[in-house]
Structure 1
């Protein structure tokens, strides 16, 4: 009887520890299924001065994020913005997008991502929907440090023009 009681206490202790660990973890933003059918915000080409961002990028926003763009920088929870980056080649004077390098994703959720101004960040490598360049705990340093430098625009660097 004593062994069963101790085994039960041990199991309960492990469950509590696992529950606390899971509760403390920050949920990673999900892969934004269908984002290429969202509103296209802009396309740009960056040269070697932008190092890892060199290439051609397209930025897409879901309907909630478009509300934020139109509200002049107040993005509601549920906003998702995608930065889709491709390598480029010169083909007879035309800059052509080739292989996808990665997609960066911003998700607005003021409760889940309070430590980063309400934004969650992630980066999916190549065409993968699961392989990530970093975890959410590193996003504060890696992503948010640049995004927070855009005061008055809710950490969003781009602007939308109708």
Structure 2
């Protein structure tokens, strides 16, 4: 009797495409019960504070903010490889704080009061009119009003269209 042929449990790459597309779409969907941004329906992703740092920034007057941009695994891989446009499933989160003088070291500044959490989600099917990006801006966990969200894409489009509408450069 001939031996039974070995069966491979690996899926062909083509079979993974619908699975990955579904996963990316699920990431961009508003989660039930979570506050979502008007226009885009973007929510603050769970666990984002454990994501890798993409880059820090210092915003001058009038905002005077310290900022940190974090990225999910899809974003980090795209930055590391120099992939543009960013693939669907990319999520970037910007944290911002007022910067204040350090009480321990006079020439330094430190994070003060938190100001905003801003989120960008790449999903070309869901956000075709805005370069494939959905936006969310949150203060104390709540989305800001629709008028503020209407300015998101216009600002990115006017300044960084050639970088897939993303301001932040990777800090290696």
- Where is the helix percentage greater, Structure 1 or Structure 2? 1
**Structure 2 stretches lacking a partner, 5+ long:** 1-37
Q: Does 1:114 align with 2:123?
A: no
User: What's the CA shift for 1:78?
Assistant: 0.8
Q: Normalized against structure 2, the TM-score is what?
A: 0.68
- Taking a change above 3 Å as real, the CA distance of residues 143 and 40 of structure 1, as seen in their structure-2 partners, is same
CA distance in structure 2 between the partners assigned to 1:32 and 1:62 by the alignment = 10
Q: Does 1:42 align with 2:51?
A: no
Does the 8 A contact of 2:156 with 2:167 survive in 1?
yes
User: What's the CA shift for 1:71?
Assistant: 3.1
How many residues end up aligned between the 2 structures?
130
For 1:21-40, list aligned pairs within 5 A.
27-40=40-53
User: What's the CA shift for 1:26?
Assistant: 5.0
How large is the RMSD of aligned CA atoms in angstroms?
1.9
**Structure 1 stretches lacking a partner, 5+ long:** 1-24
Does the 8 A contact of 1:29 with 1:105 survive in 2?
yes
Counterpart for residue 154 of structure 2: 145
Counterpart for residue 154 of structure 1: 164
Does the 8 A contact of 2:40 with 2:136 survive in 1?
no
CA distance in structure 2 between the partners assigned to 1:118 and 1:58 by the alignment = 23
Higher relative contact order structure (alpha carbons within 8 Å, sequence separation ≥ 6): 2
Q: Does 1:68 align with 2:78?
A: yes
CA distance in structure 1 between the partners assigned to 2:161 and 2:46 by the alignment = 29
User: What's the CA shift for 1:77?
Assistant: 0.7
Counterpart for residue 104 of structure 1: 118
Q: Does 1:77 align with 2:88?
A: yes
Q: Normalized against structure 1, the TM-score is what?
A: 0.72
